[in-house]
Chains A and B, each alone.
Chain A
Amino acid sequence: MSASWMQLFFQIFLLLVSCRHINTKTPGPTPTPLAPVSPLTTEVRSAVFKGESQTEKIELTNPVSLTLECTWAGNLNKPPNITGYWNKDGDEIENSHVTVQVENGQYNLKREFRIVNKENLGNYSCMFGNEAQIDFILTAPQIGEVRDKPVVSYTGDFTVILCKMEETKPKPLNWNWYRGNNTEKISINAQPERYEIKNEGWTTKLKIYNLSDADSGLYYCEAAYAISTTMSPVKLKVITFWEPLKPFIAILIEVIVLVAAILLYERSQSKKNSVAETGTNADHTNTLTQGENSGSEGSSSMRQRKV
C-alpha cells in the first residue's frame, strides 16, 4: 500500500515538475517579437501655432521615427496647466493625454511616432485642450502637376500619357499604371502593339496604340516609394475625326458663301456703274483730269506737308 502511494506522489511530483517546465517554455502574453528592422532614421518636425488653425504637410519616402513638436503661445488667459493630446485622422490616440505646463509663456507638446507603412501615414493633430490644434499631414510625395484638362486623341491613332514627379522631390522607386474609376482600378501591363510603358526616373509615359472609343476614361499613374504610393489621375478622351471636321466644313462653307457674295455684289455694282458711265463719259474724262491736276499739287503720296 505505501508503495502505490509513493508511486502516486512521485507521479504527481513529476507532473508538477513537467508543468512548470512547460510553463517556463510557453511564451505567454509577451509582446510579439519585433522583426529585425534596420535602424530607423529619425526626423523632427515642429510647428509654432500662430493663432490660426494651422496645417503642415510632410512628405516621407522611407520609414522614419518622426518626432512631432507643437508650440502654442496660448491665449489671453494662460492657465498654468493644460491638457494636451494627439489625434490621428480625427480619432484620439490612446494614452496620449499629457499635462502641459507653461514654459516661457508657451506650451510645448512633443511625441515620437514610428512611421513604417501606409497605415501610419495620415493626419496627425496635436490638441491643446479644446482651443488650439495643429495638423501634420503625413503623405508620400505628391505629384504636383495634375492635369485638369483631358488628353484628347483620335480613334486609330496612338497617344502618350505623361506623368511627372517634380525633380526636387525624391525619385520614385517604381511607376505603375491603372485604369478605372474611384472604386475599381485595373492594373495595366505592357502588351505589344497595345500598351507601352516607359519609366525614366521622375517621369513615366504610357503609350497606347490603336485607340478606340472604349479606351476613353480615367487613367492613374502611381509613384511607388518605400513607405507608400501616390496616385494621380489623367483623363483620356477618344474622339473620331468627324468631330473637328464638322466645324471645319461649316467654316469652309461660310468662307465660300462670303467670297461668292462679295464678288457677286461687286459685279452687280460694276454693271450699274457701266450703265451710268456710258451716259456720262464726257463728264468722267473731265473729273479725271481735274483729279490729276489737284493730284500733282500735293498728293504725290510722299511727305504729306499740305493736308
Chain B
Amino acid sequence: MSPTPACELGYKPLDGGWGWMVVFGAHISIGFAYSTPKALSIFFKEIQEDLSASYSEIAWISSIMLAVMYAGGPVSSVLVGRFGSRPIVILGGLLCGVSMVTASFGDSIIYIYLCIGVIGGCGLSLNLNASLTIISKYFLVKRPLANGLAMAGSPVFLCFLAPLNQYLLATFGWRGSLLILGGLMLNCCVAGALMRPVIQPCKPSSGTPQKMVEEQPNKPNINLKQSCIKNSKNFLDLSFFKHRGFVIYLIGNMMFIFGAYAPIVFLPAYAINQGIEEYSAAYLLSIMGFVDMFVRPGTGLVASSRWIRPRIQYFFSFAMVFNGTCHLVCPLLNSHALLVAYAVLFGIGFGMVFALIFECLMDLMGNQRFPSAVGLVTIIECFPMLLGPPAADLPHHVICYLGDVLTVSLHILYPYKADHHISLVA
C-alpha cells in the first residue's frame, strides 16, 4: 500500500526559536543513547570480580543493551506516532534510570542482563527514535544542522562519561556508580520536557474526513494525530521495501555498520602491535572522539548550505567513501604521528557519516514516514552491528575493509538511482 499521508506537512516548521531547545534536548537524549553502552564497559572488570563471571559473560551486557536499543525501533516508532515525542522520551528516561538503579542491587549476572540490558535498552530505544522524530518536526531548512548538533551528543557524552565513570568507580564502587548513573539518566526526562509537541493542522485531501482544527500550538491533541498518521498502526510496514531509495539506503547502511565499528574496537590493539605504548594507543580513541565532537555540527552546517543541501545524498556518499578510504590506508601506517593523523581523519569521516545518516533518511522518506522508517532501519542494523566486530576479528582487517569498500561503491551508485526513482514518481 503506497502511503499517501492524509496530511501533508501543512505548516511551516519553526526552524529556530524553541526548536533550538528541542535540539538541546535531543542532544542529551541521543548522547545517553549512544554513549551509555560504551561507557558501561569501565565497570565490567569490577562486576566480573564481584559476581565471579567470565569476561565474555560480562561483555554480553553491552551487546544486549545495544541489541534491545536497536531492535526496539519499530515499537518505539509506533509509540511515538501515537503519543508524540515528549511522553515517550520522559518514559524512556524513567526506564533508563530505573534500570540502572535496580542493577546496582544485582547479585547475579542474569539479573544485570535483565536490568541494564533489557530494561535499559528499551529506555534508550524509546529515546533515540523520539528525539530524531521531533527534530524532523521542528526543522526543515536548517534540519541538517539540527541533526548534526543532536548527533554530536554521542561523542560529547562519551567524552564526559568516561572520566566520570572512572571517578565514580574509585569513589563508590560499581554499585554506587550505577546508582548515580541512573540518576544522571533521569535527565533524559528533562530533555523530554523540552520537546514541546507540535500540532500539525490537517490539510484535507480528497476522500479523507475533513478535520481542519486550529488549536493553541502547545496543547497536545491525540485524536488529530491519529487521523493524520494512519501508517502508525503497522509495526513493520513492509511497503517500505518497495521504495527503491530506501532499500539502497538500507543495504548501504548495513554494509557500512558492519565495517564501521571494527576499527574502533581494534585500533588500540593495532597501535600496540605497531609498537606504540599502551597509554598513547588508548589516547588515539580519545583523539577520534574529540574530533568527532566538532565535525558533526560542522557537517550539519555545511550540509545546510545552499550548495550542498540539494545534493545531500551525494555528500553522504562522499562521507562514506572518505571513511572507507581512510581505513584502506590504515595498514600502511606504522608510526605514532601517522596513526594520530589516521585517528583525526577517522574522526572526521565517522562524524560526517553519522551527522548525515538520519538526515538522509529524513530527506528520503519525508516527515510522515520517517518514524516508521527509522524503526525499520534500526532493527535491521542491529545484526551487522553486533556481528561486525567479532567477524572482523576472524580474517582481521579483510572483512571490515571489504565491508567499507562495498559500502563505498554502493553509495556512489545509490544517489543516482534514488534520484532517478523519485523524479519518475514525482
Binding site for B on A (CB under 8 A): 149-154, 157, 159-160, 162, 237, 239, 241, 243-245, 247-248, 251-252, 255, 258-259, 262-263, 266, 269-270, 273-274, 277, 284-285, 288, 291-292, 294-296, 299-307
Q: Which residues of B contact A243 (CB under 8 A)?
A: 172, 176
The 7 closest A-B pairs by CB, nearest first: A244-B176, A152-B173, A251-B183, A302-B366, A270-B218, A262-B193, A301-B367
* A244 vs B214: C-alpha distance when bound (angstroms): 49
Would you list which residues of chain B between 311 and 352 have a CB under 8 Å from chain A? 312
Cross-chain contact of A292 among B11, B176, B187, B219 (Cβ < 8 A): B11
Q: A152-B170, A262-B194, A307-B306 are in contact. Are A292 and B184 (CB under 8 A)?
A: no
User: Given that A248-B180, A299-B140 are contacting pairs, would A307 and B8 also be in contact in the complex, using a CB cutoff of 8 Å?
Assistant: no
B interface, CB within 8 angstroms of A? 8-13, 49-50, 52, 90, 101, 136, 140-141, 169-173, 175-177, 179-180, 182-184, 186-187, 189-190, 193-194, 196, 201, 203, 214, 216-219, 306, 309-310, 312, 362-367, 422
Question: How far, in Å, is A236 (CB) from chain B's closest CB?
Answer: 10
Q: With A300-B9, A301-B140 given, is the CB distance from A273 to B49 under 8 Å? A: no
A292-B11, A301-B366, A304-B363 in contact; A252/B183 too (CB < 8 A)?
A: yes
Pick from A263, A284, A292: contact of B214, CB below 8 A: A284
Q: How far is the CA of A17 from the CA of B55 in the complex (A)?
A: 83
Closest to A277 in B: B216
A-B contact count (CB 8 A): 127
User: Which residues of B are found within 8 Å of A245, using beta-carbon distances?
Assistant: 179
- In the bound complex, what is the Cα–Cα distance between A158 and B101 (angstroms)? 19
Find out whether the CB atom of B9 lies under 8 angstroms from the CB atom of A299. Answer: yes
| Partner among B8, B172, B190 whose Cβ is within 8 Å of the Cβ of A152 | B172
CB-contact partner of A262 in B8, B186, B190, B364, under 8 A: B190
Q: Which of B180, B186, B203, B309 contacts A307 (CB 8 A)?
A: B309
A-B contact pairs, 29 of them (CB 8 A): A149-B170, A150-B170, A151-B173, A152-B169, A152-B171, A152-B172, A152-B176, A160-B52, A243-B176, A244-B179, A247-B183, A251-B183, A251-B184, A255-B183, A270-B216, A273-B217, A277-B216, A284-B214, A285-B214, A292-B10, A292-B11, A295-B9, A295-B11, A299-B12, A300-B9, A300-B366, A302-B366, A302-B422, A304-B140
Please give me the residue from chain A that is nearest to B364 by CB atom: A302
- A251-B186, A300-B366 known; A153+B173 contact, CB < 8 A: yes
A239, A291, A302 pick with most chain B CB within 10 angstroms: A302
Tell me the interface secondary structure of chain A in the complex. Answer: helix
Our pick among B50, B190, B217 for the contact of A258 (Cβ within 8 Å) is: B190
A259 touches B201 (CB 8 A): no
Set of chain B residues within 8 Å of A255, measured between Cβ atoms: 183, 186-187, 189-190
Q: Report Cα–Cα, A296/B321, bound state, in Å.
A: 35
CB–CB A154/B173 < 8 A: yes
Whole-angstrom distance between the Cβ of B286 and the nearest chain A Cβ? 20
What is the CB-to-nearest-CB distance from B385 to chain A, in angstroms, rounded to a whole number? 27
**Shortest distance from the beta carbon of A166 to any chain B beta carbon, whole Å:** 16
B169 contact from A149, A300, A303, Cβ within 8 A: A149
- The answer to whether B50 and A160 have CB atoms under 8 Å apart is yes
* Closest chain A CB from B315 CB (angstroms): 12
Within the assembled complex, what's the spacing in Å between the Cα atoms of A301 and B147? Answer: 14
Give the most central of B136, B176, B201, B216: most A CB within 10 Å: B176
Given contacts A243-B176, A245-B179, 10 further A-B contacts (CB under 8 A): A152-B169, A244-B177, A248-B182, A251-B186, A252-B186, A266-B218, A291-B12, A304-B309, A304-B312, A307-B306
- The answer to whether A301 and B136 have CB atoms under 8 Å apart is yes
Which B residues are in CB contact (< 8 Å) with A302?
A: 363-366, 422
Contact A159 B50 (CB under 8 A): yes
Cβ contact of B172, chosen from A244, A269, A294, A301, cutoff 8 A: A244
